[in-house]
Amino acid sequence: MAAAVEKPSLDKMSSSMTSSITGMGLGGITGLATTLSTLSCHCEQQITIGGMPTNYVPGLSANYNISSFCQRPGQTRRWPMQRPGPPAQSRPGLKHAPRNIPNNQYTHNLICKLADQNERRRRQDVMELISQSYYSQQPLKVELTEFYSRDNSKEHHTEQYDLVNDNLFPNPVLRRGQKFLFAVRFDRISDKQLDVIHIIFCCGPKPCVTKGTRIVLPVQWTPQPNIFHHPRDVIGSGIGLSVGLPRMQDASTITTTAVGTTASMSPVSSIRETNSYTVRRSSFGNDPVPPAQPSPLSPHGTIERPVVDRFSAAPQQPTYGRSCCSQQGSVQNLTPSIPESEKWDINIHRQDGNTITFQVSIPPTAPVGLWNCWVQTSRLGQRDNRHDYKCDEDIYIIFNPWCRDDTVYMENEESRKEYVLNDQGKLWCGTWHQPIGRKWIFGQFDDVVLPASVYLLERSGLEHSERGNPIRICRAISSMINANSDDDGLMVGRYDGEYKDGVAPHAWTGSVAILERFLTDGGQSVSYGQCWVFSGLVVTICRALGIPCRSVTNYVSAQDTNGTLTIDKFFDKEGNVVPNGPAEDCYDSCWNFHAWNDVWMQRPDLPQGYGGWQVIDATPQKEADSVYRCGPASLEAVRRGEVGFNYDTAFVYSELNSELCHFQEEDDSDWGFIKMASNQHQVGRKLVTKNPAVEDEEGDSDLMEITQEYKPSNGSATDRLSVIASSRGFQRFQQSHDSSNQNQDDVAFDLMDIEIVPYGQPFDCCMNIQNKSDEDRTILCILTASSCYYTGSIASRLRRAQGEFIVRAGQREVLKLRVTPLEYMDKLVDHSMIKVHAMAYVKQTRQAWSEEDDFPLHKPKLQIQARQLSLGQESTLVFSFQNPLAVHLTDCYFTFEGPGIQRPRQARFRDVKPGELVTYQDKVLPKREGAIHVVATFSSRQIDEIFGSAIVNVKG
């Protein structure tokens, strides 16, 4: 029978429930019936009380939807829906109504109206118990916010950023993995029981909770871990009120229980409270409620602003802090377990009247870039009535090398000072035996750098959710510095000396002017740059974002275009270069120097031991996935020759370890050429960077060689061949190394190194020949001097000597070629590089030999002096040098900058007479005291790349 329950436990519960409804209103009975109806879904037989179903309300039709009266204030009533199944009167147990009663619809509508009227009366009774201030006051309104940019910057090591110290619009620059303070002033003192505050952080145009780019942090006044804040937790009201209404002193704590158990209840001023067991309340109150008014933060808002959820944040980046994670114990079971160190957190630091100071913890895995903060306020139980305030400040969150949990953590403090905080350094040019250090202002703290860096990340297309990974960030930087593959990059590379429609690469003194022009021109690529300019830009952007970075120069850097780990050069019988080889498919080259970057990070994607310095290269050389980018490649993997690891390790290895091979045209050869020379040690001859412990403005004593970090000192041919075999098949490689010359070489050749040659002076190219045999040798020699680009390409031939002569047995001979200034002055190109190439062929033994050497012509230094520099007072800088040429210099201009005393500036100058001592003065206004680095260059039509640097002291 339906009136009986088989199990004694349910009988006992039924009797207790029957007694508990005594004295309750209809609304209370309704809520209790709804609760018990959920319990009935777990039993095959419906539970009854006194012979009536638990979901039955006296006087109501069984198919009437009680929940239609449980709407929130301001909502349109949800009218009852017809339930599927047989009509209510056909159900067993309804013996009080005949089957064919007339006007059945009329009676149904009548009871609906009567029940609604009763519900309204009960609701009014409940509202009389609630303080009128609950509905009379509006949510808190934000009047002012303060992010304490300068105060927070001291703990975050960002006090040098101009954005932080801006007097008009200071913006906080914060490192992830640390805490920061910010204050909010409201229009009134907050009510801790009724005011609800959420602090929301958004990153990107479409911030998403599940992707960790939208963080919602609820402000907890007094944590109550066992209370669900949901509008239907008050039985009898039916209007969406929440647990947490003003409580009397006799209120007791509600015990949260799982579905299918009994909850303890206690009276609160004649209002009974319990937990809601209905399954439809998924995720404990996350059912969406359309707002009464469109809001910028609402998904349905008409204004195109970041969409902010009103509830919890993503599982990857939870919004609940440490103090509020325990508030809703069951909520934790719905999301993956996340370490506390990877969660955002917020707590109230202090409260002074209507001003509240919050402390927020940024996890060490947070995406870096530009964030915005919203303050969202509402009244408890009135989530439709909400105020959303967007803070004016742009928040820059960057990597943190001081935090052990950050993947860019660098333990050594001196290294952090150099590779993160040092805003100037040197970029190395020249040749391997004559390195030339060029001062460069990185300027990562300038107010244009962080905005430009963030904009470049936006242009890269990198997902905001992936910007917490330094591997992805550095890969994006590598692709966005150059603009050769598309029009979205920062700088256009050019190497042919034609710079009339832009700025010559050697005219730049630092990165700031480039980035500022990029922003001023609306993101249009800047012209022009070369590898060392790209490297300087990478240092600037990486250090600005908090990634430790250094510039590295590889002397004699291979560009292996066909993947053979050889650099093949072909010459005809006369010693002239055969462009692109005999088949016109070989584009290999050997750059005199090539600058790239090392960035410091851990590599969780690689086996242990491959973290630390990683190689990235922004120069457009290797196209990966239709984009010119390279790295990050583990330096340790490159050193070991383990070329299978990501990213582009094989390409970096080839730049350091390719074999240099020369071939000359020969009629007697089976394939038309013979191998003249090969060298496995010429490529990657020397790798250098700036020494962090030394500052040398005049010379190059601050050079630090790091070749041993890239190449093992005891490398052998066997090791190299094993690397080749591990990367791919090299049949062509093996064939090209089968030299056809099996005879013994009995004549020694040597191309003499050329010492430092001042610009405007003659030089001699010398080749030594020694006949070690007992017979005379007839030797064909070719000696050529050419101007060349630093990429190894020939610009113009200067002089060439060719002849055949006999060297007696056991004798020595010297072949000399002299080049005068008139022969090279108008044929020089960038860096004033001279390439000397020597070839020899012994007719008796068919011995072939070839060698080449490069050297730069040294130009005068630009001297910089300061006259009484004082903080806030106009002062003078003096630049001077002597014209080394016997000709007039035209189209002259100076470019100079010094962080704290002068932003990048270019000044036109008059024509300079032959041999004249040039002096130029300019006014500056120091804004920073202490030691300031000043860098300057002079350029003209006849001579350029006259640069200098100095440290000037500014008194306070």
Catalytic sites, residue numbers? 531, 594, 617
What single DSSP character describes residue 928? S
Q: Say whether the peptide bond before residue 451 is cis (omega within 30 degrees of 0).
A: no
Sheet holding 847-858, edge to edge: 757-758, 847-858, 833-842, 777-788, 794-807
> Which SS3 state, helix, strand or coil, does residue 77 take?
coil
Element (H, E) at 873: none
| Unique residue bearing structure tokens 């050019």 | 494
| Calpha distance 745→651 (Å, rounded) | 34
| Calpha distance 3→53 (Å, rounded) | 8
Residues 900, 902, 905, 910, CA torsion sign: negative
Residues 170, 175, 181, 183, CA torsion sign: positive
3-state helix, strand, coil in the chain (%, to 5): 20, 30, 50
Q: Which residues on adjacent β-strands are paired with residue 662?
A: 569, 677
Q: Say whether the peptide bond before residue 528 is cis (omega within 30 degrees of 0).
A: yes
Q: Tally helices (H) and strands (E) across the chain.
A: 17, 44
Phi, psi of 460 (to 5 degrees): -70, -20
DSSP calls for 825-836: GGG--GGGEEEE
Q: Which residue stretches of 668-742 are H helix?
A: 707-710, 717-727, 731-736
Query: Would you say 894 and 902 are in contact if contact means Cβ atoms under 8 Å apart?
Result: no
Structure tokens at 29: 């009975």
Q: Are strands 686-690 and 703-705 parallel, antiparallel or unpaired?
A: antiparallel
Structure tokens at 805: 């002569």
What single DSSP character describes residue 302? S
> Which SS3 state, helix, strand or coil, does residue 278 take?
coil
| Calpha distance 302→767 (Å, rounded) | 79
Q: Which residues on adjacent β-strands are paired with residue 906?
A: 895
Q: Are strands 833-842 and 757-758 parallel, antiparallel or unpaired?
A: unpaired
Query: Would you say 884 and 910 are in contact if contact means Cβ atoms under 8 Å apart?
Result: no
Count of CB atoms within 10 A of residue 941's CB?
11
Query: Would you say 326 and 305 are in contact if contact means Cβ atoms under 8 Å apart?
Result: no
> Which SS3 state, helix, strand or coil, does residue 943 take?
coil
Say what the alpha-carbon torsion angle 400, 405, 411, 415 is, to the nearest 10 degrees.
-20
| Calpha distance 70→77 (Å, rounded) | 9
| Calpha distance 314→299 (Å, rounded) | 16
Query: Would you say 631 and 645 are in contact if contact means Cβ atoms under 8 Å apart?
Result: no
Q: Say whether the peptide bond before residue 419 is cis (omega within 30 degrees of 0).
A: no
| Unique residue bearing structure tokens 């690469």 | 505
Element (H, E) at 124: helix 104-129
DSSP calls for 437-455: EEEEE--TTSTTHHHHHHH
Structure tokens at 490: 């920062």
Query: Would you say 215 and 313 are in contact if contact means Cβ atoms under 8 Å apart?
Result: yes
| Calpha distance 258→279 (Å, rounded) | 12
Instruction: Name which of 796, 825, 798 is nearest 887 in CA terms.
Output: 825
